[in-house]
Structures are given as C-alpha cells and as structure tokens.
Amino acid sequence: MGSPATALSFPPQLHHHRCRCLLSPPPLSKSPTPNPIPINPHPLPNRRSLLLLSSSSAAASLLPLSAAADTDASALSPAPSSPLSAAVTERVYMDFSLCPSYFRSDRPLGSDLAACPDPEPLGRVVFGLYGKLLPQTVANFKAMCASAAYRGTLVHKVLQGQFFVAGRQGRREKGEVRPPLELARNMETVDPRAFQLKHLRPGTLSLCLSQNDDDEAIRLNPNYHNVEFLVTTGPGPCPQLDNENIVFGTVLEGLDVVTTIATIPTYKPAERIRQFNDFAEFIGDERAQIARTMWNRPLKTVYISDCGELKVAKPSLSPSLP
C-alpha cells in the first residue's frame, strides 16, 4: 500500500478544478422562480403627456356644455358660407302674365308668346343674385334677363306647395328658350362648393340640375348652356332639391306673384296612366319620358312677359323671407 499522501494525490488537471470548488462560496438554496413581469402593450404616459392632457381637460371643463357641443359640431360639419359671400350683388326683374288665347285654334302659327294679344298681368318679381358666391351662374342668368332671352318663356311646370320651373330650351313659338351664343360655360355645375345654400324658404331661386327636363338632343350639344331655373313657392322648405340644384338668388319683391303662380291648377295623370308610364320606362320605351314632360303643366298659360336688369348701387345682405 502506498503512503497517505500518495493516496490523496490527484492529477494536475483535477487539482486545479478541486481548488476552485473549495474556494467558491456554497450555492444558495434554491427558491421557486417568480413569474415573469408582463409587459404592458400600452405604456404609461410620460410626464409631458400628463401635463398636456390635464391642461386640455381643464380647458374643456371651463366651457359650458352648449359651447362644447358647438365645438364638436363645427369640427364635423363644413364651415358655412360667410355673410358677405351670400350678399345680393345683382338684381333682375321678371314680369309674369297669363295668355288666355294661347291655345285658341285661330292663333297664328309660329307666333311668339311675347306677342300675346290679350295678356293678363300677374305682377313683377325682383330677384336678388349672389354674385360673389356664384359669379358664373349669376353672370349667365343676368345676361339672359338683360338680353330679354327669357321674354315669352312659359312656366312649364308647377309642383304645388313646392316650386315652379321655367326656361326650358327649344323653339320660341312653343314658349321655350334660345340662349344667346355669348354665354360662358358654367363650370360651377360641377363644383361642390356651389351647393352650399339650401332651399329653406319660399322665393329661393335655383339653377335646375336634377329637375332639368331639356331634351337629351339639346343637352348633348357641345355648346349647350343650362338656363332652366326654379323658384320655390313654399310654404315649407324643399330638402329634396338640396345638393342637386344650385341656389344663386332669392325673391326681393313680388313673393305674392310667386304664390299666385303656385295656386294655378296643373295636369295630373290618373293612377292607371302612371302605371302604364312606369312600365314603359321599365322596358326602355323613350315615349315614357316624353309623356312625363306634360305632367304638372299649368292648365293656364303662364309666361314671362318681360325681363331685365336693375342696377344695384351697394351690395346688401339677403333679406329674411317669411
């Protein structure tokens, strides 16, 4: 047997490892591993964010409820037109009359309605036009009145309790309009800003777009100018006309004449005729649209016996009509 020293000797490689183990501190007692701290996907705001949030909340708390509601509504709705943009900058007039002999069989063929031998005047209507808000539409309408292009034009459609329409294009002997060639092309008909004003009151003057009933052959003409207009008759608003027709003026004088035109009886087809017309339109019969042009026509001949321009010395705001 060897000596004790020989029995406790180790190889050099294990001797170094044995020394490191003896010198290292004893291992700590094992404890259960704590659950990992979850990471918040929405971190807490920093100090600057808290200051900004508290200041905005304090400012909002100082506002009354009505003001806060108005602020939210103004943020969601477009800004209305300014008062100056809806100012009356131009004035025109139209004289309306009845022609009892228009449908007589002895009336000369081709005669202009403006030369009616027995007119019955209804009165004059003075329109105020919003030239700053809609310069192209107003310029064309004023040119039509100044050149007397509307003279002898029929009021060819009356929807009682809503509006009447005039200015349909076609032949003069039929009481229709022929616009002058120098009219400018109206690009406001495709501008969304031109539809700001609404048909809220009686006497609202509007350019017909959705209610236009010019023949398709006329509308396809490259030199076509839309000059058909409507006037609301009341008693209430006409929201069905909003955003589809351009309001560019209002009645300043002669609202009683507008009311008189609205009371004239019109042609209303029977329910059976309406059903046949709906079926004809469904199958694509073009005669259905032609037949509809006769609906709501006045049973008396109402026409524009004269028209012209009135000079405005100073622009004024549109009046508050009843």
* Residue 9 placed within a domain: no
What pLDDT, in 10s, does the model give residues 179-209? 988 898 899 999 999 999 999 999 999 999 9
Tokens of 289: 């649209």
pLDDT for the residue numbered 171: 86
Closest CA to 131 of 181, 85, 68, 97: 85
3-state secondary structure of 149: coil
Candidate ranges 27-36, 104-113, 164-173; pick with highest mean pLDDT: 164-173
What residue numbers bound the domain in which 96 lies? 90-266+299-310
Q: Which of 22-31, 96-105, 212-221, 285-294 has the lowest mean pLDDT?
A: 22-31
- Could you tell me if 307 and 93 are in contact, meaning their C-beta atoms sit under 8 angstroms apart? yes
Residue type (1 letter), 219: R
* Residue 273 placed within a domain: no
pLDDT for the residue numbered 14: 42
Q: Average per-residue pLDDT in the chain?
A: 77
* Residue 231 placed within a domain: yes
**In angstroms, what CA-CA distances link 200 with 166, 203, 247, 319?**
20, 9, 10, 13
* Residue 203 placed within a domain: yes
* Residue 26 placed within a domain: no
What pLDDT, in 10s, does the model give residues 258-289? 999 999 999 887 888 888 888 888 888 777 77
pLDDT band at 86 (very low <50, low <70, confident <90, very high): confident
pLDDT for the residue numbered 174: 86
pLDDT band at 110 (very low <50, low <70, confident <90, very high): low
* Residue 282 placed within a domain: no
The reported pTM is 0.69
* Residue 153 placed within a domain: yes
pLDDT for the residue numbered 258: 96
pLDDT for the residue numbered 313: 66
* Residue 118 placed within a domain: yes
CATH of the domain at 199: 2.40.100.10
Domains in the chain: how many in total? 1
Closest CA to 247 of 33, 46, 80, 16: 80
